[in-house]
Structure 1
Amino acid sequence: MTVRPVPSGALIPRSIAAVVLAVGLAAGVIIPVGGAAAHGGEIREREYWLEDYGITEAWEDTKGAGVTVAVIDSGVDGSHPDLEGVVTGGTDVSGAGAPNGQRGIGEVPEHGTLVASLIAGRGHEPEEPQPSPSATPSGTASPSAKPSGSAPPSSAEAEASAEASAKAGESAVKAAGRGPDGVVGVAPESELLAVSLWIGGESTGANPAGVSIDEQIPNAVRWAVDNGASVINMSLGSTSPTWPESWDEAFLYAEQNDVVIVAAAGNRAGGSVQVGAPATMPGVLAVGGLDAEGAASRESSSEGISIGIAAPAENLVGALPGGLYASKWSGTSGAAPLVSGVAALIRAKYPDLTAPQVINRIIMTARDAGIPGKDTIYGHGILDAAAAVNADLTVPEELLLGAGGVVSMAQYIETYRRGEVPPPPPPEPAPAEEPLPDIPEPTVPAAAERASAATSLPVFIVFGFGGLILCILLGGTYQVIRVYRQGGAETDGDNS
C-alpha cells in the first residue's frame, strides 16, 4: 500500500489504497520559544477550544492523571519544553525512525509532535517574567445557569457574569500545566507513548526500510496495547473506507484489551471526500472537523456514516519539534487528539468504565447539530467535554457506534471475514429399506400354429361359387354373341 501525507490546500493525485496524515499546515506560522515577536503565552491564548468546548470545566474533576495515550503517528519530539517528561515510552514500527519513536519521519515529520501537544501538552514557565496580557481569550464561556423562576439578569449583570466567567476560564487555562506559556493539552496530566511509522509522500517517497503500511499499522496498534495504552490516537487515514485484512487481528486485539481508539475522519482539502480507514473500522471513534465558529468545516473534514463526533479542526496551534510552535494549522488531525484527550479524562475519572462506555459517554453528551439526530457530517453531535466528564447518566455497555449495525471488530470478522456461506453438507444416507418380493418375469405369449381344416367344406364352397360365377359369365357371353349374329342375318335377308 502506497502512503503519503496531504498538506492543506493541495490536492495530490491519490490512489484508492493511499494512506495519508489527516493534517493541513495551512500557511502555519512557526514561532520559536521565547521569541521577541511572540512567546508561548500567545500560543496559550489561542487555544479557544479549552473554554468553548467545556475542557476547563472538566478539569475541575480530572486532568487525565494515570492514563496512557499512544500517539501512532510520524514520531513525537519528547524534548519539546511542553512535552518534557510526558513521553514515557515509544517505539518505531517503520524501521526508518528512532528506536524510541521520538524522531519525526516521513513526509510530515512534525505531525506527531503537533498531535501529541494537543493531547497532553503541559506548557512551561516563560524564560522571563511576562505581564499578564490584557486581551481576553478567543473563547467566551457561557454564563452560569440561573435557577428556574429567577428574574432575568440585567445587561450589566450579564456583562459582569460573562466577564467573570471569561476571567475564570482564563485563569484555569493559565494555571493548567507547568506554566502559563506554551501549549496545554486536553489531558495535561496524562502520559504518552510515541509510536512512529513512515507515511511517505511526493517528496519522500516510500519507506526506505521497506516495511509496508499494511505491516506498520497493525504492529503499531499491538505494541501500544502491549505497553499499557488505554487510549490510542490515530490522526491518519486512507482514501478508502475499506482496509487490508492484515489490520483485523490487531484492532480486534485492542478491542479485546479494552482500549479506546480515536481516528481522524480525513480532510476534503487533502482529497478525502469520504471517511477512510481506520476511522471506518468497527469500534473506532471517528472524528469530524469544525471551523472556529463551531460549524462543520468545509475543507478540514469529510463525510460519512462512520463519523461519531465533531471537534475543532481549524485555526489550531501546536508544538513543533525543536521547541517551536505552529500558530495556525488545520485538519481532523487536530480534532482527533482533542477527543482522545477527553477520552483520557473520562478514563481517569471513571476507571471502571469499559472502552465502549467511554465512547458512549462522549457521543451521548454531544450537542446535536445539523440534521436532528445522528448524521454524516456531525455524527452524534459536537464535543462537550464538561458533559462527557461530569454528566450523571447511565451508560450502556454495548457500543452505540456502528455503521451498518456492526459495532465491534469481533462481529465484523465473524460476519465478513469468516461469514462465507459454508458448502451444503453431504446428503445423509437413506435408511435401509426391506427388499421387495421377487416378481416373476411376465410370460411372453407364443403364436399358435394354424390348425389344419377338419373338413373340405370351405374349399368346396369357394370352388363352387367360383364355378357358378364362371358359368354365368360364359352364358352371358354366349347370349350376347347369339343376339349379335341373329341381328346380322336379318339385315342380309332384307338386302337380297
Structure 2
Amino acid sequence: MDQWHLRHLRVREAHRETQGEGVTVAVVDTGVEPHPDLRGNLLPGIDLTKGGGRDGRRDSTGHGTGMAGLIAAHGRSADTGALGIAPKAKILPVRCLDAAPNGNVDCLADAIEYSIHAGVDVISISAGGGASAHLLRALGTARSSDVVVVAAAGNRPINSDVPYPAASHDVIAVGGIDHRGSIAEISTSGSSIDIVAPAVDIYSTSIRSRYRRGTGTSGAAAIVAGAAALVRAKYPYLPADEVAHRLTATAIDKGPPGRDDQYGYGVIDLVAALTADVPPRGFGSVPADAPDTAGPTTAAADGPPADEGRAATVRGLVTLGVLVAAGGAWALVARHRRRSDDPPPRITR
C-alpha cells in the first residue's frame, strides 16, 4: 500500500475517533465496480446513463471505483490493499457518466435527487461543467434535506473558473495540494474554493480488482467527502451546514491569512475536525485551547492536466483528472457559506 496522503492526514489517529460507522456516501460518477477492498461497503445503487438499467455497480473507466476507494476502502490486511478515509462507511453508487468525457447536467441533477431520496448523508461528485435550473434545484433540495454535497473545483488548463456543481454555494468546493503542501499546479482557483486536500499521485482501487494512481481535484473531493462522513459519524446530530463549517474552521491555514482563492480556508485536518471545540457558525473562530492542528499537512506533487483539449459546456459535464495507472481520475471540489450579498455564481460556458 502506497498512500502517502494517509500519513499526511494522520488517518490512523483520526480512526481512533471514528471510521464512518452508520454513514452512507453517494458516489456520483462512472459507477463503482465491486472490489475486494470495498467488500461489505458497496450497496446496490442505480445506473442513470442512457440504456443503463443496472444497479450502478459497473464501471468502464475505473474512475468511480477509485473515488469510492478513497472514501471507504478497508484494504485486505494491515499492509495490503487500499485504505479509505472512512472505511466503515457505506457507498451508494450512482452511475451518471460513462467512458465518454462528457455527461448530461440534468442526469447529474437526477443523480443528486436519487441520492437524497435514498437517504444518504454525503454526496461526492468528481465532475464539473455548466449549470442548469434542474441542477440548481437539486442542490437546493440537498441543502434543505440536510445532505452534505462535496464536489471538485476543477483542473487547469481545462477549467479557468470553478465549474458547477462546485461553484454553487450549496456545495463544499475542494481544490488540490501537492506533496509539499503547496497548491497543486492542476488545481483551479476562485472565490468558490472552500478547502483543499491531496490531489496528486493518489493511490486507490480500480476495476478488475486492480489499483490506480490518479492526479486531479477528483481525488481531493473524494477525500473531503470521506472526511465529511467521519464528522457525520462522530457528530450524528450536526446539521449539514455545520459539518461543512467544522471542516473549514479546523483546516490548516495556508497562503495569505484567512480564506483565499487558492487554498480556501486551508488544508483539511481530519483529527482537528473530529476533536476540536468548534463554536457554531457566527460565534467566532476555533478557540485557542482547541487541539493542536499544526501537524503534517496533506499535499500532492504537481501533475499533468486532465482531459486535455476538452471543455465543459452549459449542457455537459467533464471529468476532472488524469489516469496514471488503471482507471481514471477527476477533479472534485465543493463550496459552502457564500454570503447572502455575494453575486450569483457564474455559469461556465
Q: Same fold (TM over 0.5)?
A: yes
- Per-residue deviation at 1:89? 2.5
Which one-letter code corresponds to 1:323 in the other structure?
S
Residue 141 (structure 2) aligns with:
253
- Cα distance in 1, alignment partners of residues 341 and 231 from structure 2: 24
Aligned equivalent of 1:82: 37
Alpha-carbon shift at residue 98 of structure 1 (Å): 5.2
Contact 1:305–1:403 under 8 Å retained in 2: no
Aligned partner of residue 44 in structure 2, secondary structure: strand
Moved more, 51-60 or 289-298: 51-60
Counterpart of 1:235 in structure 2 is 126
Are 2:36 and 1:101 aligned? Answer: no
* Residue 207 (structure 2) aligns with: 321
User: Which of the residues 18, 26, 34 maps onto 1:70?
Assistant: 26
1:451-478 per-residue CA deviation (whole Å, 9 max, x = no partner) reads: xxxxxxxxxxxxxxxxxxxxxxxxxxxx
- Cross-structure match for 1:405: 340
Is the Cα–Cα contact under 8 Å of residues 151 and 172 in structure 2 kept in the other structure? yes
Structure 1 residue 48: Cα displacement? 1.6
8 Å Cα contact 1:96-1:198 kept in structure 2: no
The aligned residue for residue 362 of structure 1 is 247
| Residue 221 (structure 1) aligns with | 112
Superposition CA RMSD, Å: 2.2
Q: CA deviation digits over 1:282-324, x for unaligned, max 9?
A: 120000000112110012x101100000100001101111011
Partner deviation per Cα, 1:52-97 (whole Å, 9 max, x = no partner) = 123221111100000000000000012x110112111300111333
Instruction: Show the counterpart of 1:244.
Output: 132
| 2:21 aligned partner, one-letter code | A
Structure (1 or 2) with the larger CA radius of gyration: 1
The alpha carbon displacement at 1:395 in A equals 2.3
Q: CA deviation at 1:200?
A: 5.7
Q: Quick check: which one's helix share is greater? A: 1
Aligned position for 1:309: 195
Cα distance in structure 1, aligned partners of 2:182 and 2:256: 13
- Which SS does the other structure have where 2:188 is aligned? coil
Report matched runs for 1:78-477 at 5 Å: 78=34, 80-97=35-52, 99-105=54-60, 109-125=61-77, 174=78, 180-199=79-98, 201=100, 213-238=104-129, 240=130, 243-269=131-157, 271-299=158-186, 301-326=187-212, 328-396=213-281, 401-403=336-338, 405=340
Contact 1:123-1:182 at 8 Å conserved across structures: yes
Query: What amino acid is aligned across from residue 83 of structure 1 in structure 2?
Result: L
Distance 1:322 1:229, change over 3 A: same
Counterpart-to-counterpart distance in 1, 2:65 and 2:98: 15
Distance 2:136 2:127 in 1: 17
Hey, what's the Cα distance between the residues in 2 that align with 1:274 and 1:224?
A: 27
- Partner Cα separation in structure 2 for residue 248 and residue 226 of structure 1: 17
SS of the aligned residue for 2:67 comes to helix
Cα separation, 2, equivalents of 1:121 and 1:275: 28
Q: Which has the higher contact order (CA 8 A, sep 6+)?
A: 2
Displacement after TM superposition at 1:402 (Å): 3.5
Q: CA deviation at 1:214?
A: 3.0
Amino acid at match of 1:99: R
- When normalised by structure 2's length, the TM-score is 0.80
Would you say the 8 A contact 2:38–2:74 is kept in 1? yes
Aligned partners of 2:88 and 2:341: how far apart in 1? 34
Quick one: structure 1 residues 115 and 397, their matched pair in 2 at CA, closer, same or farther if it must change by over 3 Å?
farther
Q: Deviations over 1:7-54 (max 9, x none)?
A: xxxxxxxxxxxxxxxxxxxxxxxxxxxxxxxxxxxxx2x212222123
Contact 2:25 2:90 in 1 (8 A): yes
What is the SS of the residue equivalent to 1:123? coil
Whole-angstrom CA distance in 2 between matches of 1:339 and 1:317: 15
Q: Return closer, same or farther for 1:406/1:116 CA change in 2, 3 Å cut-off.
A: farther
Q: Structure 1 vs Structure 2: percent identity of aligned residues? A: 37
How far off its partner does 1:104 sit?
A: 1.5
